Amino acid sequence: MKAALPLLALATLLASCQREDREYRANPVTAESQEKIALSPLSAGPSPPAEVRTGMGKNYEENAFHVAQGKKLYIWFNCNGCHANGGGGSGPPLMDDRWSYGGQIENIVQTIREGRPNGMPSFRGRIPDDQIWQIASYVRSMGRNVSKDVAPGRNDDMHPAPAELRRPPGSVVDGGQIPPSAQMPQ
C-alpha cells in the first residue's frame, strides 16, 4: 500500500500530458455542416420546430485556440466595422443577452453564413466554414457564453488605463491620511 502511494502520485502527473487539440488544417472535403436550424422559435403544432444540431459547435466553443482564432478573424473580416468590439454600432451589440436570431452557436454560424435582413451580409463562399465556426465561438465568448478558461483576454488597448507598470511615477505627498490616488479628482 505504501509503495502504491508514490506511484499513484506519479501517475497523476500523466494527467498533465492532456493537451488541447489545435486543428490547423480543416478537412477541405467537408461540405457545409449538416445543421438544420429554424429561423423562428415558433412552430405549428404542439412541439417546437424540428431542428438538427449535430453538436459539432462544442468542438469550437470548448477550444481556446478556435476562440482565439475567431477573435483575430473578427477584426480581419471587419465584423467590428458594424458590431464594434461587441458593443454594437450600426449592427446590434453582441455582448448582451438579446439575440434576434438565436444565440446558440449554430444560429450564429447561420447568421454569418446566410446573412440577415436589414444589413447583415452573407459570407457564404467568402469565409470557409471552419472559420465561420471560429468567429461564432468568439462571438459567444463576448457574452460570457463559453467557459472562462477558453475565452480570450481583453486587448491591452481596450483597458481603461495603462497597466500599473507603464504608468508614469506618481508624486510623493508627505503627511495626511488619504493617499493622493484616493483623493477627489481635481
Partner 1 sequence: MKRIAPVLLLVLPLAGCQGWQSALDAHGPAARTLADMFWIFTAVLGTVWVLTMGALLLALRKRRVAGTDPLATDPATERRMTIVVSTAIGLTFLTVVALTGISYGGQRALYGHRDGAISLLVTGRQWWWQVTYEDPQTNRVFTTANEIHIPVGEPVLIKLESVDVIHSFWVPNLTGKMDAITGRQNQIVLQADRPGVYRGQCAEYCGLQHAHMGVLVIAEPKEEFERWRNRQIASAQPPSDPERQRGMEIFMSKPCVMCHQIRGTDAGGKIAPDLTHVGSRRYIAAGTLETTRGNIAAWIVDPHGVKPGVQMPTIQLEPDEVQPLASYLEGLK
Site residues (CB under 8 A) for partner 1?
24-28, 31, 76-77, 125-131
Question: In this complex, which beta carbon is closest to partner 1, that of residue 117 or of residue 125?
Answer: 125
**137 Cβ partners below 8 Å, 6+ apart?**
57, 60, 61, 63, 66, 67, 70, 105, 146
CB 83 to partner 1: min, Å = 17
Which of 33-36's residues contact partners 24+ apart within 8 Å by CB, and which partners? 33/106, 33/109, 33/129, 33/133, 35/106, 35/109, 35/110
CB 134 within 8 A of CB 73: yes
Question: In this complex, which beta carbon is closest to partner 1, that of residue 29 or of residue 182?
Answer: 29
Question: In this complex, which beta carbon is closest to partner 1, that of residue 29 or of residue 172?
Answer: 29
CB 113 to partner 1: min, Å = 12
Question: In this complex, which beta carbon is closest to partner 1, that of residue 69 or of residue 104?
Answer: 69
CB 26 to partner 1: min, Å = 6
- Three-point CA angle 90, 75, 113, nearest 5°: 70
CB 37 within 8 A of CB 53: yes
CB 101 to partner 1: min, Å = 23
CB 77 to partner 1: min, Å = 6
Question: In this complex, which beta carbon is closest to partner 1, that of residue 9 or of residue 31?
Answer: 31
Burial tier of 77 (Cβ tally within 10 Å: 0-12, 13-18, 19+): middle
